Structures are given as structure tokens and as C-alpha cells.
Structure 1
Amino acid sequence: MAQTAGAIGVVLLLVGALMFVLTSRQESRALNSELGQVLAMAEDVDDPPPGQVLAQRTAGTDAVEVTPSASPELVRVLDDALRRQPGRFDTDAGDDHPVRVLVAHRPDGSRWAVAADLAPLRERQGQLGVALLVAELAGLAGALVAAALLARRAVAPLAAALTLQRRFVADASHELRTPLTVLHTRAQMIARRARAQPVEQLTDQLDQLVADTRALGEVVDDLLVSAAAEQEPPPDTVVDLAEVAREVVASMSAYARERDVELRVEVEATAPVRGAQVALRRALTALVDNALGHVSAGGHVRVRVRHRPGCVAAEVVDDGVGLDPAEADRLFERFAHGTAGTGRRFGLGLALAQQVAQAHRGSLEVTGAHGRGATFTLLLPLA
């Protein structure tokens, strides 16, 4: 930005200097032309134009006639000028009084000289210089503003990229926490049972462990796709939301048992919606994780998928500490969290669930009260 403003300032300075020189030369030439006309038309020295003084020396004599109003110093300057060859020169007539003198010889042998006060010309040149300086300063200020705007516009893509990067890191840290916790819990359970049971009896649990690792990889893939094309609509494929709910509950059941919380699923036969299965599972997982974090030991969490007119509703109901209805809207803000609950919450899960709902042309609703649990409802159009 400083280099751009400096370059513009140099250009303005050069243009201003050129304008000053050209304008000053034009005014100087105009004054020379005026003095030439005065000498060509002068018949005597008594009535010169304002600000000018005439002098004449008749041929064959040394007598010099000078305009009566001329000062002694100016008379001396004109007397000296009449002794010179025809031409023009600038000099000082005393008391810092600059004058321009033009000398001409006529065919009859007489010599004429006219002196003009240069103070008005110098004053106009000074005013011109000040005006150009003010214009250059204003132009430089405008250049600085323009450079700042251009610089801001130039770095806007970089700022957007950094914002997207921070959001991706935040989303990844939150979204990977729950699958990793479930994976760690299941691995601990298998390790404990492996010491007391034959390996053949652990097949189902090992299959669940493999499924959890696959789900973890899908979460990473979904985060990458979301970061690369956050504004693109989800794919137009039919997804059974009831099956997604079963998968989420099966995946998080071990985590719920570890917290001594009953996690159950109640679904109808099928609940077809259109969208991305991985993203919908991410949203339901975030809602279940939020519920488990706000239910005490011995509590209950229900995942219900039901048909409603024109849509499918996936409800995550808990009997935990509840919530303040006044905080309901704020819970969907990124990094915001309620004042109740003992679970480790970073305020991203609900915001991401709402983002998924909106991307699927649906919505996310919440109801609840202090000490009476909460219900989060994901509403999606029926396929």
C-alpha cells in the first residue's frame, strides 16, 4: 500500500511541477507581449498602463524623460536601460521591488524603455504553487484511501481463506472428538473382555470397532468436502433417515453405557429424505452427543424418527438438566453453549447440525425447560 501511494504521489508531484512551469511561462510571455505593445504604441511617457513606467531618450541628446510617478531608483534603472541594446531583462528597483524592463530603438533614433512591476506576477505564481500543493496533498490523501481499499480488496480472498481454515480446524476438532471417544471406549471394552473371553467371542465387537473407524473416516471426508464447498447443495439422493438413526444409536451405545445412560431408538419402517447420508449422520450424532452430555447417570436419551405432514422429524429427547428457553436461539451460534450440563461442550455441534438442516432445506427446533430435559427436532422434507 505504501509503495502504491508513493508512486501516485510522485506522479502527482511531477504533474504539478509541469503545470506550474507551463503556467508560469505562459504568464511571463503574456507580460512580454503586453510590454512590446506598450512600447510600439507609446507617444509620450505621461500615461503608461497601471503598474508600468515609460522612459524616452530623444535622438542626438542625452536628455531622458521618465513618467513623473517613477521612483528615483526606478528612474536610475530606466536611465541605465536606455544605454543598452534592445532587449529584455529583470532587475530590482530597490526595497525588494522586482521589475521587468523592455528596451526598443525606433527608426527615428529615439530609444524607449518600459518597466513593469513583477510583484503581481510573482503573487499569482505563488498562489498557483499553493493551489497545486493543496491539490497534490488532496490527491495523495485520495491515493492513500484508494490504495487502502485496493489492498483490502486484494487481501480479502486471503482473509476468507484464513477464516475458512479456522472454521475447518474448529469443526474438525469438535466432530472428531465424539467418534474418537466412542472408538476409545469400545477399544477399552474389547481389551478388558479379551483377557477373560476367547477371541472368537469378540467378533461382533471387533466388527463394531471397524465400523466406528469407518465412520470416523467418513466424518473426516465430510469435513473436507464441507470446507471445500460449504455453499454447494447436498447431493440429490434418497436417504433413509430411520436407518441413519439406527446407525447413530448403534455407534454411540457403548459411549452411553460408559456414562450409565440408556440410549434407545424408536423409528418407523422407513423415513426417506433427500440429501447426504454422511452429513445427516453427522447432524444426528451431534444431537445425541449433546444429549448425552446433559444427562446424569441413570438418565435416558431417545432418538425417535416419525412422519409428519410433508416432512420427516428426527427427535432427540433427553430427561437431563434441561435448558433455559431464553437461551434456545443462542445455542445454535458457533462456540456458544448453555449454562447447564456437565458434558464437555464447545458449542459447535448444534451449530453444525443446524447448518446441515438448512442445507437440506429443513430446520432444527429445540424445546425444553430447567430440570425437565430437552428435545431437539430435525425436520427435513419428505422425499
Structure 2
Amino acid sequence: MSRPGRAAEDTVVRRARLRIVWTTGVVVTLLVTLVGAVAYTVMTHAQDAQVRREVRYGAAYGDPERPPGCMWLYGPGGTRASDGPKDFPLWADLDRVRLTGEPVERTVRRGGAAYRVRTQLRRDGDVVQAVLDLRLQLADRDHLWLALGAAEGVGLVSAVAAGLVLGCRAVAPLAEALARQRRFVADASHELRTPVTRVHTRAQMLARGAVRDGLPARHRDGLAAVVASLGRLGEVLDDLLSSATLSPGQAWAATRRRVDLVALARAAADEEADRARERGLAVRVDGPPHPLWVDGVASALRRAVGELLNNAVTHTPPGGSVVLTLTRGHGAVELTVADTGRGFEAGEAERLFRRFHRGGGGRYGLGLALLREVVTSHGGTVAASGRSGHGARFTVRLPQSAPSPPVSAERVRAWHGWRAAVPLSGRPRPVAGPGRPDRSRR
């Protein structure tokens, strides 16, 4: 039984192979159709020209007693040929030519057959009507349609066979690249997880020792930040390992939880507080006092919000401000990160989220493309707006989490207690609340 990760790779390869087969079939079909249309057009034009030449020659010079093949001639007075088709001659055309002297030529259908009829005045003063049977020309056209249909079928079958061969050969490097990528991610995540876990444990021990030894508060807070960063790094490695061993849907489902976007945004702002202070920036979070829940992967959403905040702090000059605003409405939770920085041109808004595109004078990079992937994988949207020299504004909309069962008053008080707590600073440790598991035993 194949692993889910391998099954996901097989799905990607199979879809790529099908696209090649489909594209090859469409191209070959269009080419055969185009060639057939050109051939049919050329043939019909040639036949029409030949029919006009023959019927005009017969009407002008043909002998009614010995007419050319597939043609009947009606002489003066409309004398009817003994073996001619019914309903001929056309008396109206004969009378018209006698009155006007101008020739009349048209195609007439009688009894399921088509005839080319020309009535004209000869040099000797006689009015002659030539009737040419078009069944041979129409039969040739039908045969051409059958040949084109057969060629279309053969071409389509050949295209499918060629597409299968080309697909197998062209997709083989893709399959190998996907397999190598997955192996690399799995191996790197596995090898890095052990040393990161050791460093995380060591940092926790140092942080507890700092509290026990009475080190200054700024040192304790710095160690607390190191512990938190290492913990998030471990979560990133866990996500990478899960994505390498599970299919994308299974990887997300395995770690999807209810996440408080307000608490997540405040935590991201706290992480950027030192850098913002060094740059002389004011970072503010405007959100409701109650949680705004969304369903998702906390570590992935934390990285997405952190990317937006990092861009805002990086692109805002000293003395500016960055505001994170959280609102709820129409079944969605909206997070807006607005800054007073350099901004970007209006035409760059959509291109900022493309991979390897560096818009706004090279200030934005691959992070926003990864941010969009995280948001869209959670069923949300992200948009950017701004003007050069007037700041930037990024808006993330995520589906609101379904209401949970009623929460007891004790759990509400516990959640507010966690909000008021500051770890490793001499005050009480965080208390686990709704959507906030206790990680003290990790």
C-alpha cells in the first residue's frame, strides 16, 4: 500500500500526463480540421469554377442533338430532351432571356438532385437552356467529408497514443523531482527536529534558572522570547514533516484547530515590539476584547500574520505607525495590517503575491506568495492596496469558525487570566484556555 504522500505525487504526475495527452489531442485535431477545411474549400471552389465553364460552353456552343456528358440542351421553342430530367426546361428563364437578352444562370434542385441551369441568347439568335447534373460533384464532396472524418479519427487516435508516449517521457523528470523534493523535506525536517528540540529544552532550562537566580527582568523576557521562537521553529519543522509524509488535505486536517485570531495578532505584535521600538515605530492592535475564532493551523496562520507584520515594520520609516485591525462580519473574520510606509504602485498590488516577483522597488519577495498559499488553503482571501509614498494595506479574510458549545464561567475567567499573564517575568504562568492548549509539559 503506497504512502499518502506518494499518492499525492502520483496524482500530480497523472494530471500532468493527462494535460499533455489532452493538449496533444486538441492540437492534432485542430490541425487536421484546419487542413480538411482548406482542402474542402479549395475543392469546392475548383468544382464551382469547372461547372460554370462547362455550362457556359454548352449553352454557347453545344449541339442540342449531341450534348456533352451529364448535360441536356433545350433548343429554340424549349424542345425537351428525350432522356432529360423532369420539370425542365425552365420556361420562366426562357421567357426572361427572350425579353431582356441577358443570360440567367442558377442552381436548381429537383427530386433530390441538384442541377446547374444556364439560359442565354446565342449569336445566331436562338435561346438555348443548358442543364448540367451536379450529382458527380456532390458525390465527390461527400467522399471528401468521409475521408476527412476518417483522417480526423485516425489523427485523434494517433494523437492520444503520441500524447501517452510524450507524457510518460516528459513527466518522468517531474515525478523524480517531486520525489526528491519530498525526500529532502522529510529528511531535513527529521534531522533538524532533534537539535532544535535539544536547544529548545536547553533554553527552557536557562529561562527557569533565570527566574530562580533572580536575573533582571529584561534578561528573563529575552530568554522567554528565545524559548517561544524555538517552540515555533519546532512547529514549523513538524508542519514540514507532516506535509512530506501526508497528502496536503490530510496534513491540514491532522492539525486543524480553532484559533483565536485576536490573540494570535497580539502575540505577533509582541514579537515585533523590540524591532519596532528600535526603528521608532508605533505598533498597535485594534481588536475586540473577546476572541475571534477561525478554523486552521495555528503555526501556519501565525507565520502568515508575522509575514504581514514583518513587511509593514520593514517598509515603514522611523516615526511611522503600523496598525493591526480585526473585525468580524458576514461569516468571516477580517485582519487588516496598515502602515504609513513607502507603499507601492497601484498596478503592483496583484503582482506582489507572485512567486519570485519583487515589486515596489524590490521590497517585497517570496514571503507574500507563501502567505497567499496559507490563506487560500484555509479557505480565505488576501488582498493588497496602497499608493506609492502613502503606505500599504493588506487585508486577510478567513471563514469564521462554527460556534462551539457554551463555555462555562470558569473557563472564561481562565482565558482572561491567560491574557493577563506574562511568562517568565515573576508573575503567574499562562493558564490554558479555550483554543490555547497548555504547552508547559512539551
Bigger radius of gyration: 1
Q: TM-score, normalised by structure 1?
A: 0.50
